[in-house]
Amino acid sequence: MTAKEFYGTDWKTMDQARNQVLQAVRAGQRRPRRPGAVLYTTSRIKSPESACRKLRQRGLPATAQAALTRIRDAVGVRVICAFQDDVYQMAQYLEERPEFAVLQTKDYISRPKENGYRSYHLILGILDGPGKGMTVEVQLRTIAIDCWASLEHQIKYKRRVPHEHLVREELKRCADEIASVDLSMETIRELLNGA
């Protein structure tokens, strides 16, 4: 079953909500600020399989209606920035947009998860425009953090990982090193800019 079939008449509004958030990110890039702050974006509408799996894990009915009302990440946008301060500036820009209501924020950059995961998450409710009524999860992270998260995701979803404890310890160490490199690169940029 395709996402379009699963979500039915709501699919179009979900797609519009996704595009609305992507357009807001593009508008944020055009503001007078450092060029290249956002390196790229990705987006998705959660597949029926993924939505149903998440719903079942939470003891909820595996329906499109539940996916839209009980979990808030059926629509997702990922924003990859060059530096950590770009992440926070873009998050602030999105949080201040009048067509969005911030339903939840999770700052895993300043407070990383136990496994080392770092990212800034926003759950936005669309108040106005073509995606009105939908929620969108926005994940903002640096390119270095995104690289780590992609590798961690591959390992996390494998069923059996040899030496899993050792692998997870090594991933945590790498996450900490990447966070340190992010801060060092930001310091170098500030020195070059005369800050």
pLDDT at 167: 80
Q: Are 13 and 133 in contact (CB under 8 A)?
A: yes
pLDDT at 131: 96
Q: Write down the domain spans for the chain.
A: 3-148
Lowest mean pLDDT among 3-17, 46-60, 113-127, 147-161: 147-161
How far apart (Å, rounded) are the C-alpha atoms in residues 188 and 173?
Answer: 23
Q: Is the dihedral of CA 92, 94, 95, 96 positive or negative?
A: positive
- Compute how many other C-beta atoms are within 10 angstroms of the C-beta atom of residue 89: 19
Q: Are 3 and 48 in contact (CB under 8 A)?
A: yes
- Residue 28, both tokens: 């944020």
Instruction: Give residue-wise pLDDT tens across range 126-157.
Output: 999 999 999 999 999 999 999 888 888 777 66
Q: Look over the chain and give the mean of its residue pLDDT values, rounded to a whole number.
A: 90
How far apart (Å, rounded) are the C-alpha atoms in residues 135 and 127?
Answer: 9
Looking at residue 63, its amino acid is: T
How far apart (Å, rounded) are the C-alpha atoms in residues 94 and 136?
Answer: 12
pLDDT at 122: 97
Name which of 151, 96, 153, 104 is nearest 125 in CA terms: 104
Instruction: Give residue-wise pLDDT tens across range 15-56.
Output: 999 999 999 999 988 765 666 789 999 999 999 999 999 999
pLDDT at 11: 96
Indicate the fold that domain 3-148 takes in CATH. Answer: Beta Polymerase; domain 2 (3.30.460)
pLDDT top residue among 3 and 167: 3
